[in-house]
Structures are given as structure tokens and as C-alpha cells.
Amino acid sequence: MTRALSIVWEQFPNPVLNNILFLLACFLLLSTSQSYAASPVLIGTYGDWKAYSYKESSGQVCFMSSVPIKAEGKYAKRGDVFAMVTHRPAEKSRDVFSYITGYTYKKDANISVKIDGESFILAGQGENAWTTSDEMDKKLALAIQKGSSMIVEGISSRGTKTKDTFSLKGSGDAYGAINKACGM
């Protein structure tokens, strides 16, 4: 036993307490090391979009994200809002669109996405929304790359309607960057 551990053991002679402290220390060390390993690294900024990558236990993850250039709605408090497209090659997953809205969605509410006249419907749960199929993910990711603006409309659990407008400037280049980073 190292000198530091023997000092701790001498100060806390109760074996049950020692075991609890040891397990707590192990948990803190493991959770800290995992959070550092999963921290996204910025690949680059492309117009109004940013591209990131990080490693998780199953492999490389690459995603692009943006924040709205305009957010409308009569809400008192709202958290961060992000639109993202994510690749997880090890899981054979690509072009997964997700939306973090900064509030809890109304139960069973549909979230509307419009990109230059093309419409998509997302399913919301909690503060997140996704498409309902891989095919829709691919269509939405392609529309984001080719479009000029995206409007997302939703309704909160309190009945507040929101409308977020995103610029799609740079989204095609950000998409190319995450493809390259994930070898797709």
C-alpha cells in the first residue's frame, strides 16, 4: 500500500467507510477520464456551421452543428438550441439529424422543418427531436447541404410556439469535413 493510502486508512479506521471512499474515488477517476476522452474537437468553422469529431467506445463520431440566427417565441426562459447532423461509422450510422430545442416539447407534438420549400416532420421527446427514418435523415441532410435557410417550428409543454431560423451558409463544407474526418 502506498504511503498516501496508508495515511488515509489510518485516519479512517472504519473498513466500511474505507471501502465507500475507495469506490467513490474510483468512480470519480473513471467518470473524469471518460469525460475527457469524449470531448469534441473542433475540425473547423464553415460559415454558420461548425464541424467536430470525438472518439467514444464504439469508435469515431463526427458531427456538424449550428445555432439559430433568429429565435422567435413568447418564452420566459429557454436553453441552448442546436441543429446537428451526426455520423457514427462503426455503427453504420450516417446523416442522423437531431435538434435540441432548449425546452421540453409538448407530448406527441410534431416539429416542422422547412428548407427552401421542402418540408420535414420530426418527432419530439423531452428537449430533443429526430426524424423517424434513415431515409428521412438522408433527405434532410442533403437539403441542409444544398439549401440557404432552415426554419424549425415547435411547441413547448407549456403551449409556447417557437420558430427558429438557421442559416445554411457553410453547411455543405461542414458536411464534407465530417465525411473526411469519419472516412466516409
pLDDT in tens, 7-53: 333 444 554 434 443 434 434 444 444 444 579 999 999 999 999 99
Q: Give me the domain span that covers residue 19.
A: 3-36
**Do residues 85 and 175 share a domain?**
yes
What's the rounded Cα separation, in Å, for the pair 138 and 24? 44
**Do residues 11 and 53 share a domain?**
no
Q: How many CA atoms lie within 13 A of 44 on its CB side?
A: 14
What's the rounded Cα separation, in Å, for the pair 155 and 104? 9
**Do residues 126 and 47 share a domain?**
yes
The CATH number linked to 73 is 2.60.40.1880
pLDDT in tens, 137-149: 999 999 999 999 9
DSSP secondary structure, the chain, as one string = --HHHHHHHHH---HHHHHHHHHHHHHHHHHHHHHHHT--EEEEEETTEEEEEEEETTEEEEEEEE--SEEE---S-----EEEEEEEGGGTEEEEEEEE-SSPBPTT-EEEEEETTEEEEEEEETTEEE-SSHHHHHHHHHHHHH-SEEEEEEEBTTS-EEEEEEE-TTHHHHHHHHHHHTT-
**Do residues 53 and 88 share a domain?**
yes
**Do residues 19 and 50 share a domain?**
no
**Do residues 63 and 138 share a domain?**
yes
Q: How many domains does the chain have?
A: 2
Look at residue 67 and tell me whether its pLDDT is greater than 80: yes
**pLDDT number for residue 157:** 93
pLDDT in tens, 75-100: 888 999 999 999 999 999 999 999 99
| Mean pLDDT estimate for the chain | 85
**Do residues 31 and 115 share a domain?**
no
